[in-house]
């Protein structure tokens, strides 16, 4: 569209807004478009320095291996071969995959149900519930994990007390076989409110006359929710799914903090990010850590790009 | 593949009928199938939600009033106050421990969050506006790359950036935290989407007729129109930087440069591993409570902006 404007306005008559007499090779319109570069230049500089260069450098580092005897030597894709046959790394990948499969449906269900209920109510109590549900978003992930860590802990937490009311022993939330569920709970608590608000705003954007029509057709509240509301906010659902996926695959802070309280339940290679961190800072294996970071980045990127592409009819991003 | 953007709210077909007189009032009047029992049921559901989401905070408030001994074996249990109310003593100890190290951490958090947040927002507004208004050579490619960058996990950049910055001896300085925090592709994306809708080309054309320069158009015409999105991007990036843990954990190890998130994490592992006299559980808990106060207050005070901003965050 714009290119058509430019060609039309080009040589014969000078464009209307331009001062007369000045011979122009390019029209003022086309010339003006160059201002775009002026506006994007500062961001581009940061983009190149803080994203492109580090990624390129990490890739370069990941192609080398440093040994005490030989220094840095070029070893090609050896580090990647090593990573994808390294049980510690693969277990981490498997963990975040399982984690996404459990967490994301749960989180979306909680936030969707809450948003639907809150959308149907207009009481002050509902507004208060909405605010309380959203508060965890204002709390740093570190503090969220820390609070839950204390709540889970047998010394500090209310576990014994609460379960004692029912005459039960408190489950040990920080034991190796229950830490997975405990982490799912921390993340759900932290983010469900944020997702709920996104869905809630989307629900508020729906034209209420649609509900009238549904009601005339004899649909109940439940049917209206399932048949009308959910399909109409599907683009928001896709978006939070992608957010949740990107977030989960780079899982780091919560397990890293809970490591400090749950001795032994969370290993130094629990998730790929924790593994990369330990490799770099406990073992000084920066080349191998770079390979893992780079591999993680590429995998997450491909997953989310593919996902957005497959759901492009729904998400409105492409 | 042409990348086009639909910024219409989901429910596109419904849009046309949006302006009919039937509106919010109607929604309020008729909640289909509302009976007394179902209303009680939903309220019970909401109550359960509130209890779940507030319990950890309640615990934190209660626990920060307890002394070290009260934390372990208080009289009121974990979810109620101890007979020994030690909040004052905890606060004094918190602000004086290690020569006021905690205050330094809070100061650092403010420094990082404000400089990273404001810086990245300025970059995002400029770039978003540039992408929305001008069709310069490469702008389409630029936008496609930007969209891709939104999906690059930022934590995967942390270790590579650390290695790079250590080559130029910038690690363990404030710049190691501030510079990477300036990168906010998602903010640019939001600004681009918003500017595309909010800044009418006719208005800019009219300004050009009057001889206004492109810079003046940006500052005097576009910027006021972009204000809502600007506040949103600013809030989102300030919060993201304030909450960041992985980046400062990797980048700085001088205790005087740590933000409060990493500092508290260190006190936590010290208490876990250290001998009895190194244990500062009460400081970890009180410090956690104090550190969330600024954000929770700003959050409640700026509720209006949050709500507007988050619907924008859903990309619609």
* Domain residue spans of chain A: 2-77, 79-315
Tell me which residue of A252, A251, A241, A255 sits closest to A303, measured CA to CA. Answer: A241
pLDDT at res. B197: 86
| Average of per-residue pLDDT across A278-296 | 89
Closest chain A CA to residue B135:
A33
Residue A79 pLDDT > 80: yes
Q: How far apart are CA B227 and CA B216, in angstroms?
A: 16
Residue B263 pLDDT > 80: yes
- pLDDT averaged over chain A? 82
pLDDT at res. B275: 64
pLDDT at res. A155: 74
| Average of per-residue pLDDT across B30-59 | 81
- Chain A contact set for B139 (CB, 8 A): 36
Q: How far apart are CA A134 and CA B30, in angstroms?
A: 27
Tell me which residue of B124, B103, B156, B149 sits closest to B231, measured CA to CA. Answer: B124
Residue B5 pLDDT > 60: no
Q: How far apart are CA A311 and CA A32, in angstroms?
A: 36
Residue A314 pLDDT > 80: no
Helix residue ranges, H only, A153-232: 159-165, 179-204, 209-216, 221-224, 230-232
- The 10s digit of each residue's pLDDT in A98-114 is 999 999 999 999 999 99
Cβ separation of A317 and B43 shorter than 8 Å? no
Fold held by A79-315: MetI-like fold (1.10.3720)
| Average of per-residue pLDDT across A82-89 | 90
- The 10s digit of each residue's pLDDT in B232-248 is 889 889 988 998 999 99
Specify the range with the lowest mean pLDDT, choosing from A77-86, A139-148, A213-222: A213-222
Q: At which residue do the structure tokens 């379960």 appear?
A: A163
Q: Cβ(B296)–Cβ(A139) under 8 Å?
A: yes
pLDDT at res. B126: 95
Residue A128 pLDDT > 80: yes
Residue B12 pLDDT > 50: no
Helix (H, G, I), strand (E, B) or coil at A71: strand
Residue B173 pLDDT > 70: yes
Residue A203 pLDDT > 60: yes
Reported as a pLDDT band with limits 50, 70 and 90, residue B34 is low
Reported as a pLDDT band with limits 50, 70 and 90, residue B51 is very high
Neighbouring-strand partners of residue A9 = none
Helix residue ranges, H only, chain B: 24-29, 36-63, 68-73, 87-96, 101-133, 139-150, 158-167, 175-181, 185-198, 201-209, 214-216, 223-243, 246-251, 260-273, 281-301, 303-313
Sorted by where each begins, the domain ranges of chain B are 38-85, 98-313
| Average of per-residue pLDDT across B15-36 | 46
Residue B305 pLDDT > 80: no
ipTM attached to this prediction:
0.81
Choice between B129 and A177, residue whose per-residue pLDDT is larger: B129
pLDDT at res. B115: 96
Domain B98-313 CATH (choose: 3.40.50.300, 1.10.3720.10, 3.40.50.1970, 3.90.1640.10): 1.10.3720.10
Closest chain A CA to residue B28:
A122
Reported as a pLDDT band with limits 50, 70 and 90, residue B74 is low
Helix (H, G, I), strand (E, B) or coil at B204: helix
Tell me how close the Cα of B225 comes to any Cα of chain A, in angstroms: 17
| A120 Cβ under 8 Å from any chain B Cβ | yes
Choice between B276 and A283, residue whose per-residue pLDDT is larger: A283
- Chain A contact set for B250 (CB, 8 A): 277, 280-281
pLDDT at res. B235: 86
Q: What's the Cα-to-Cα distance from B232 to each of B14, B120, B302, B313, rounded to whole Å? A: 27, 12, 10, 9
Specify the range with the lowest mean pLDDT, choosing from A114-123, A298-307, B23-32, B72-81: B23-32
pLDDT at res. B103: 93
Choice between B241 and B11, residue whose per-residue pLDDT is larger: B241
Q: How far apart are CA B160 and CA A291, in angstroms?
A: 10
pLDDT at res. A94: 92
Residue B2 pLDDT > 50: no
Using alpha carbons only, give the angle A57, B186, A44 rounded to the nearest 5 degrees: 50
Specify the range with the lowest mean pLDDT, choosing from A14-18, A198-202, B10-14, B150-154: B10-14
Residue B11 pLDDT > 80: no
Reported as a pLDDT band with limits 50, 70 and 90, residue B269 is confident
Cβ separation of B246 and A277 shorter than 8 Å? yes
**pLDDT above 70 as % of chain B:** 83
pLDDT at res. B241: 92
Cβ separation of B157 and A54 shorter than 8 Å? yes
| Mean pLDDT comparison of A53-67, B16-30, B104-118, highest-scoring range | B104-118
| A308 Cβ under 8 Å from any chain B Cβ | yes
Q: Give the one of B24, B47, B127 whose C-beta lies nearest to A40's C-beta.
A: B127
Residue A5 pLDDT > 60: no
Largest CA distance in chain A: 94
């Amino acid at each position: 569209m714009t290119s058509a404007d430019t060609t039309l306005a080009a040589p014969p008559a000078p464009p209307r807004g331009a001062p007369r007499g000045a011979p122009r090779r390019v029209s003022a319109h086309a010339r003006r478009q160059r201002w775009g570069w002026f506006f994007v230049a500062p961001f581009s500089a940061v983009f190149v320095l803080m994203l492109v260069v580090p990624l390129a450098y990490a890739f370069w580092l990941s192609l080398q291996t440093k040994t005490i005897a030989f220094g840095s030597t070029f070893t090609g894709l050896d580090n990647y071969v090593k990573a994808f046959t390294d049980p510690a790394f693969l277990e981490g990948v498997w963990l975040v995959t399982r984690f996404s499969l459990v967490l994301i449906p749960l989180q979306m269900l909680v936030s969707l149900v809450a948003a639907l209920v809150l959308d149907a109510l207009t009481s002050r109590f509902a507004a208060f519930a909405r605010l309380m549900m959203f508060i965890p978003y204002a709390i740093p992930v570190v503090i969220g994990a820390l609070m839950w860590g204390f709540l889970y802990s047998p010394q500090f937490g209310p576990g014994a007390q609460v379960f004692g009311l029912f005459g039960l022993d408190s489950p040990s939330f920080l034991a190796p076989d229950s830490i997975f569920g405990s982490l799912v709970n921390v993340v759900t608590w932290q983010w469900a409110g944020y997702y709920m608000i996104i869905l809630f705003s989307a629900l508020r954007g729906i034209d209420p006359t649609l509900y009238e029509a549904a009601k005339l057709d004899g649909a109940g509240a439940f049917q209206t929710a399932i048949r009308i509301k959910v399909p109409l906010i599907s683009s928001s659902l896709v978006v939070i799914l992608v957010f949740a996926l990107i977030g989960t695959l780079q899982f780091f802070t919560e397990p890293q903090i809970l490591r400090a309280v749950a001795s032994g339940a969370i290993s130094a290679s629990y998730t790929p990010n924790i593994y990369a961190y330990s490799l770099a800072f406990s073992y000084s294996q920066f080349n191998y850590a770079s390979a893992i970071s780079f591999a993680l980045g590429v995998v997450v990127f491909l997953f989310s790009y593919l996902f957005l592409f497959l759901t492009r009819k729904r998400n409105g991003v492409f | 593949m042409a990348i086009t953007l639909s910024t219409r709210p989901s429910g596109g077909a419904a849009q046309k009928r949006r302006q009919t007189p039937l509106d919010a009032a109607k929604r309020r009047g008729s909640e289909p199938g509302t009976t007394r029992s179902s209303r009680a049921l939903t309220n019970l559901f909401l109550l359960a939600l509130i209890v779940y989401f507030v319990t950890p905070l309640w615990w934190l408030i209660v626990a920060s009033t307890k002394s070290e001994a009260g934390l372990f074996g208080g009289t009121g249990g974990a979810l109620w106050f101890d007979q020994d109310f030690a909040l004052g003593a905890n606060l004094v100890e918190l602000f004086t421990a290690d020569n006021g190290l905690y205050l330094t951490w809070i100061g650092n958090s403010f420094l990082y969050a404000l400089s990273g947040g404001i810086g990245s927002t300025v970059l995002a507004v400029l770039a978003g506006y540039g992408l929305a208004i001008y069709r310069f050579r490469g702008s389409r490619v630029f936008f496609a790359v930007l969209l891709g960058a939104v999906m690059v996990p930022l934590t995967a950049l942390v270790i590579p950036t650390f290695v790079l910055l250590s080559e130029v001896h910038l690690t363990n300085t404030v710049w190691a935290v501030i510079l990477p925090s300036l990168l906010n592709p998602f903010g640019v994306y939001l600004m681009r989407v918003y500017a595309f809708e909010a800044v009418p080309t006719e208005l800019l054309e009219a300004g050009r007729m009057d001889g206004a320069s492109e810079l003046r158009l940006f500052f005097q015409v576009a910027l006021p129109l972009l204000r809502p999105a600007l506040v949103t991007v600013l809030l989102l990036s300030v919060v993201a930087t304030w909450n960041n843990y992985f980046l400062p954990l990797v980048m700085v190890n001088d205790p005087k440069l740590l933000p409060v998130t990493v500092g508290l994490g260190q006190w936590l592992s010290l208490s876990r591993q250290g001998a009895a006299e190194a244990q500062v559980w009460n400081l970890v808990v009180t410090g956690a409570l104090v550190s969330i106060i600024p954000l929770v207050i700003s959050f409640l005070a700026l509720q209006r902006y949050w709500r507007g901003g988050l619907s924008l965050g859903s990309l619609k």
